[in-house]
Amino acid sequence: MPAEHVTTIDHAMTLPNDKVDPGRVFQGTRFVFDRVAEAVWKPWRIPGFDARDTGIGEATQGIAGVQVARPLKGEPPARTSHNTDIHFTFVMEGSLTLNADGEAPYAIVAGDAFVLPPYLKVVYENCSDDCELLEITLPLSFETEIAMD
């Protein structure tokens, strides 16, 4: 993002083919196959959630990060902000209320997406038990501040 290459279809290629090279590097990045069944969930950057890493950060050498996060039952949501340029979130499952400073609370459901600008304080409230968020950031590494006010 932004795409800087042309994507075309090869109508003559049969897949799968005999050429398998999982370590191949494409202009500094590698292919990633995220296996959900093998995922390891760890505490996320936002207290009250855990997350699994998709491997995109390592495969892109830190250019981008992709995490899947879910709320922890019984954990209060934290109000946070970040300092990254690109911060996109897609709601894969469930629902939540996005509460951002200076804005009315907004109900978000599966299939919705939102972008958070740097330094905006937000809290993900009323998360359903099945809520799963796909967070995409550029770059992988950035700072998250937990609001204490």
User: Which tens digits make up the pLDDT trace of 91-149?
Assistant: 999 999 999 999 999 999 999 999 999 999 999 999 999 999 999 999 999 999 999 87
128 contacts 94 by C-beta, under 8 angstroms: yes
Q: What percent of the chain has pLDDT over 70?
A: 93
In tens, the pLDDT along 65-75 reads: 999 999 999 99
Predicted confidence at residue 2, as pLDDT, reads 54
Residue 14 confidence class, pLDDT cut points 50, 70, 90? confident
- Model confidence at 50: pLDDT above 80: yes
Nearest to 77 by CA among 40, 126, 18, 117: 126
Position 24 scores a pLDDT of 79
Residue 109 in 3-state DSSP? Answer: strand
The answer on pLDDT for 30 being more than 90 is no
Both structure tokens of 85: 């340029």
So what's the pLDDT on residue 12? Answer: 82
Query: What pLDDT sits at residue 77?
Result: 87
Give the pLDDT mean for 13-36: 76
- Domains of the chain as residue ranges with CATH: 35-146 (2.60.120.10)
How crowded is residue 54: how many other Cβ atoms within 10 Å of its Cβ?
21
Predicted pLDDT of residue 147? 92
The pLDDT value given to residue 5: 60
pLDDT, the chain, mean? 90
Flag whether pLDDT at 21 surpasses 90: no
